[in-house]
Structure 1
Amino acid sequence: MTDLGLLALRRAARRLLAPWDRGESPGATIGLVRDGALALHESAGAASLELGLPIGPETCFRIASVSKQFTCAAILLLEAEGRLSREDAVQRHLPGLPDLGARITLDHLMRNCSGLRDMLELMRFAGTGLGQPATAEQLLDAIGRQRSLNFAPNTRFLYSNSGFLLLGRVVEAAAGEPLATFLERRILAPLGMTRTRHTPSVAEVVPGLATGYFPQGEGFVRAPHGFALGGEGGLVSCVEDLALWDRNFSTGLVGGVALGRALAERVPFGNGRLNLYARGLEVADYRGLRTETHGGLWPGYRTCFLRAPEAGLTVIVIANHGGIDVHQLGHRMLDAAVEGRPGIHPVPALPPRPALEALTGRWLEPESGTTLEIELTADGTPRATQHGLPFTLAPAEDGRLVAQRGAFPFALSLPEDGRLLVETDAGIITSFRRAATEARLPEGLEGAWTCAELDATWTIAPGTEGLVLRVRGPVGSDGPWPVLPIEGDCFRVLTPATLFQGWVDAQAVRDAAGRVAGFLVNGSRARGLRFGRDA
């Protein structure tokens, strides 16, 4: 890279960071790795608003789910030593887990195709959000109460933090030492990642750690988080250390080059379609380039680890500002780095505005009660929301719109004949239609309802503006949560969360006499939860 080329990229990074280049705002840091060397590292914003400390080269952040590839690497290192096999059933190493009626392997966990419900969502539906204290044992209890799955193993993909918490415990059982010790001894120290550490407790003092913030009004508040952290997201790191980890994919200093290949290996589902999720990395195509990427999201922290190995480039973006879209920043930085190279596909254009306007509104898949909201932002960008989490829709080369959201396969076609076709994981296509513009809640929802797999009771009663729900679970309680009509027996429960205003889609289940006897609840990562009326 010439000096002029590097200067242009530095200026591109500064432009991307400009909105947060002020002392009264938290911000972000961007690193660009080229051919194994950190070629560029720019930062903006404050690591601590209270102390007025700027983000700098040595600032550390919670990288959340970017930790997952390290947990997978630990499993693969232990497999190379003969201490376990990726095809082992998880109960072989964790015999206390319940029998869920299907054989779940370690590889299923690494590839997010196990069908296990996500523990963070289970905790939230049982009244305990990320801002409240929860121990590792309580998280394991939430997994252990399950008696069914989202789907049969290796038939679909659905992101699940539960699987990676269990993988971290498998590492400890097979290695005979804490996950933090194994990672430090076998990966971090050999690679010189001296500012990276696994932190099971969020109360632990970590040198150089930026404070995480959420925007609130014209200012910011500290982001609350109280959950114990394991193999799903316990690492604190920085751009320089993640650049050292990225270099290991080509040098193989730890685990040989086979380790990097195994982490990025896609494996087919039972129907033959390739899973986009490899092992702690999502593998996709972007502008004609193969990318290996993962995001991290934790209250007040966001991370994008984006590799484009064919181009010899990796972009690392980390923020301590909960409102920054690091996924978008990472891809814009990659755009700048590959611009003008031969073989790079142009960025597709959005469909005309009238076609986009035809997408807007509420859509319903009536069989499951799943809902989808689509709107256009002020600048005309389409944005979808499912289960309360909004994500930008970007044009794809095949004419469809795809989710700009990590580890979330979602591609929709423009509506035809009043139907909206959405392709998700394993090539599954779901047909949505417009939801009714006026609706009433099903009669008979009032009362107390219990879900054994949550060990929680949802009590629905009149509030000041309609029915509301209060939840009492094994760790905490919450509410009131508004209960809103969708159409017929389909309704929605708003579930305020630390990271976003969530919702679950619910559908009444009726007895032989036609009365509401219970309901099924589907969240983003925990589906098919059954509630029955208390006796």
Structure 2
Amino acid sequence: MSVFDGLDEFCGQVLAAHGCPSVSVAVAQGEELVFARAYGLADVAAGRAATPETVYGLASVTKPFTALAVCLAADRGLIDLDAPLPGTHPWAAVPTPRQLMQQRGGFPGYYDFYYGAAPLPIDPAFYRRQVRAPGSDFEYSNHGYRELGRLVEQATGLPLRTYLREQIAEPLGLTSFDLADAYAGPAPVAERYTAGGRVLPDCLTSHPSAGAGWATAGDIALFARRSAGLLRPATAAAVLDGPPINERLGYGLGRVVQREGGSVISSHGGGMGGVAAMMIDLPDRELSLAVLANSTDKAARDAVVLHLMAGLAPEFDPGHLAPASDRTRDFTLAPGSWAGHVESPDGEIPLRLDVLPDRRVRVTLADLAPATVPAIASDRWDVRLGTDLQLPTADARLNSPSFGVELRAEDGGLAGRAAAYKNGDRAGLLGPYLLHPCRLLPAG
């Protein structure tokens, strides 16, 4: 394949340009690996080179594994994909497994990364409330995949880690795969690095079924090619049945799906502290690709993916790298003042927004000094902004020092959500992303 000509030099340049320690690349044709090579260092301090046998964190490339586990259990009569989740739940409308796999369970975005000893200091229950009816709009959320992992365990009587290894990894010949907070071997593992080049400690989350996978690039490429063979034909087809999330992409059962001129491209990316991963499958061409990097910064991963896909499938939509369902538009909210509160686990937090004539907004949160920042709008929200203000709650103070809002004009006020988050890890470590209900009314 001529697409590999010059790849060694290209990857070396990309790693240097973006300060990424290493990247591992694998391609499968048919159901066999035809290319596997790694570049750079898996461990910078030790000078240990990355090799095709090096295992990387997968982050959200774990989701296709969890979705496949659900589909396998469904094929065996243990799960009904279109029945509400069994058991007692706190939601007014209980989503189905299919809706959860398609990221349409009604849950908001969420992640909780913690670098200390268990247990996690954040209770995710407050943040796991539905924000819309199941089956309606797409919103990418780890909450749904957490529920799917629990469902597999309830239906099979096995820990998810065991089920994934025994029913997926072993039958597919994936010798490196594991699901765990930290990889235990026996394969060598790539150290994970911040965007600034610092080593990350082990990371705990409340949603391992959404992002705690580990594997080599070769095993990810083979998973992409071989996994459909574990399913009944109708279920394998359903994996690629992706309701639209934008003009060119949909989201199926754990796969981003592009249909172009009768052909299909499916993918899933992953990113978290020290992880930038990508899996791509072209079923009509019996071809798959995996690119794994050990940096929070996705720039090196993206450059390698785009370079390879330009030769393998020029119709590849770059939106696969960061699927978006909400387009930016002009900010048209009239100048004025709005006041209300943010609902948090610690009670109501006062919030005031003063919309200024220059498309800027003065934000007053609790008793903190106001901050004036630019605002934008989108298809879904009439005002979106972010600031360096600290939401004064115990959860947010742990490691979520930035504050943002996404609000729409509704019933004479502004309604939506306020986020506490950590904006990257060039300083410190990537922290939790916590969404809170928010409502404001006109103020004098």
After TM superposition, give the deviation of residue 196 of structure 1 in Å: 0.5
Q: 1:293 deviation in Å?
A: 0.5
Q: Distance in 2 between matches of 1:260 and 1:80?
A: 10
Displacement of 1:226: 3.5
Superposed, 1:47-126 pairs within 5 Å as 47-90=42-85, 92-93=86-87, 95=88, 97-98=89-90, 100-120=91-111
Deviation of 1:52 after TM superposition, in Å, equals 1.1
User: Which runs of structure 2 are paired with 1:321-336 in the superposition (5 Å)?
Assistant: 321-325=295-299, 326-336=301-311
Q: Tell me what 1:419 maps to.
A: none
Report deviation, 1:69.
1.1
Find out whether 1:169 has 2:159 as its counterpart.
Answer: no
Deviations 1:273-323 (A, max 9, x none): 998100000001469842100001111101110112222321110000222
CA 1:315 to 1:212, structure 2 compared with 1: closer, same or farther past 3 Å?
A: same
CA–CA distance in structure 2, aligned partners of residues 331 and 47 of structure 1: 22
Pick one of 191, 195, 199 that aligns with 1:222: 199
Note the residue ranges of structure 2 that are not aligned, 5 or more in a row.
353-361, 377-381, 391-395, 422-432
In 2 relative to 1, CA 139–318 (structure 1 residues): closer, same or farther, beyond 3 Å?
farther
Matching residue within 173, 197, 210 for 1:232? 210
Structure 1 position 12 matched with structure 2 position 25: no
Pairwise CA distance, 1:407: 2.9
1:39/1:491 Cα in 2 relative to 1: closer, same or farther (>3 Å)? closer
Contact 2:373 2:387 in 1 (8 A): no
* Residue correspondence of structure 1 range 518-529 to structure 2 within 5 A: 520-522=416-418, 529=437
What is the alpha-carbon distance in structure 2 between the residues aligned to residue 246 and residue 491 of structure 1? 36
1:199-218 maps to which residues of 2 (within 5 A)? Answer: 199=180, 201-202=181-182, 207-216=187-196
Please list the CA deviations of residues 348-397 of structure 1 after superposition, one character each: whole Å capped at 9, or x if unmatched.
xxxxxxxxxxxxxxxxxxxxxxxxxxxxxxxxxxxxxxxxxxxxxxxx8x
Residue 18 of structure 1: CA displacement?
2.6
Distance in 2, matches of 1:314 and 1:510, equals 45
Residue of structure 2 in register with 1:290 after alignment: 264
Distance 1:16 1:71, change over 3 A: same
Q: What is the rounded CA distance, in whole Å, between the counterparts of 2:157 and 2:121 in structure 1?
A: 19
Counterparts of residues 409-488 of structure 1 (less than 5 Å): 409=325, 432-433=330-331, 442=337, 449=341, 451-452=343-344, 454-455=345-346, 458=349, 469=365, 483-486=371-374
Larger relative contact order (CA 8 Å, sep ≥ 6)? 2
- Residue 109 of structure 1 and its aligned partner are, at CA, apart by 0.4
In structure 1, runs of 5+ residues without a counterpart are 124-128, 339-343, 348-395, 397-401, 412-421, 423-430, 472-479
TM-score of the two chains, using structure 2 as the length reference: 0.76
Distance 1:226 1:205 in 2: 18
**CA deviation digits over 1:10-52, x for unaligned, max 9?**
4235414433269x95121111222222111222111111211
Query: In structure 2, do the counterparts of structure 1 residues 117 and 25 end up closer, same or farther at CA, with 3 Å as the change threshold?
Result: closer
Q: Which residue of 2 aligns with 1:260?
A: 236
Deviation at 1:102, TM superposition (A): 2.1
In structure 2, the residue matched to 1:373 is none
2:61 is paired with a residue of what secondary structure?
A: helix
One-letter identity of the residue aligned with 2:52:
P
**Matched residues in 1 for 2:271 and 2:399: separation?**
9
The 3-state SS of whatever aligns with 1:153 is: coil
Residue 432 of structure 1 aligns to which amino acid in structure 2? D
| Cα gap change, 1:504 to 1:181, in 2 (>3 Å) | same
Cα distance, 1:20–1:490 mapped onto 2, change above 3 Å: closer
**1:141 is the counterpart of 2:125:** yes
Contact 2:20/2:294, CA 8 A, preserved across alignment = no
Q: Quote the sequence identity (%).
A: 20
CA distance in 2, matches of 1:275, 1:526: 27
Please list the CA deviations of residues 399-453 of structure 1 after superposition, one character each: whole Å capped at 9, or x if unmatched.
xxx8564332356xxxxxxxxxx5xxxxxxxx534689xx89x4868xxx5515x
Could you tell me how far 1:150 is from its partner in structure 2?
2.7
Aligned partner letter, 1:141: A
Q: Which residue does the alignment assign to 2:254? A: 280
Q: In the aligned structure 1, how far is the partner of 2:369 from the partner of 2:269? A: 29
Distance 1:315 1:180 in 2: 24
CA contact (8 A) 2:269 2:320 kept: no
- The SS at the match of 1:32 is strand
What residue number does 2:429 align with?
Answer: none
| Residue type of the alignment partner of 1:260 | A
How big is the alpha-carbon RMSD for the aligned residues of Structure 1 and Structure 2?
Answer: 4.3
Q: Find 2:220's aligned residue among 237, 242, 252.
A: 242
Amino acid at match of 1:261: A
Q: Could you say what secondary structure the match of 1:232 adopts? A: helix
Is the CA contact 1:485–1:491 (under 8 Å) kept in the aligned structure 2? no
Larger Rg: 1
Matches within 5 A, 1:172-211: 172-199=153-180, 201-202=181-182, 207-211=187-191
Match among 435, 438, 441 for residue 530 of structure 1: 438
Counterpart residue number, 2:322: 406
Residue 127 of structure 2 contacts residue 434 of structure 2 at CA under 8 Å; is this kept in 1? Answer: no
Contact 2:11 2:39 in 1 (8 A): no
Distance 1:266 1:48, change over 3 A: same
Instruction: Show the counterpart of 2:404.
Output: 504
Tell me the SS of whatever aligns to 1:156.
Answer: coil
- CA drift at 1:499: 11
Amino acid at match of 1:278: G
- 8 Å CA contact retained: 1:213, 1:300: yes
- Tell me which amino acid in the other structure corresponds to 2:405: D
The DSSP-based 3-state class of the residue aligned with 2:257 is strand
**Partners of 1:508 and 1:307 in 2: CA distance:** 37
Question: Contact between 2:61 and 2:268, CA under 8 Å: does it hold in 1?
Answer: yes
CA contact (8 A) 2:53 2:187 kept: no
Please give the per-residue CA displacement for 1:322-352, whole angstroms capped at 9, x wherever unaligned.
22332442132022235xxxxx66x9xxxxx
When the two structures are aligned, how many residues end up with a matched partner? 404
* Structure 1 residues 310 and 107: alpha-carbon distance in aligned structure 2, compared to 1, 3 A threshold: same
Are the counterparts in 1 of residues 74 and 80 from structure 2 also a CA contact under 8 Å? yes
1:372 alignment counterpart: none
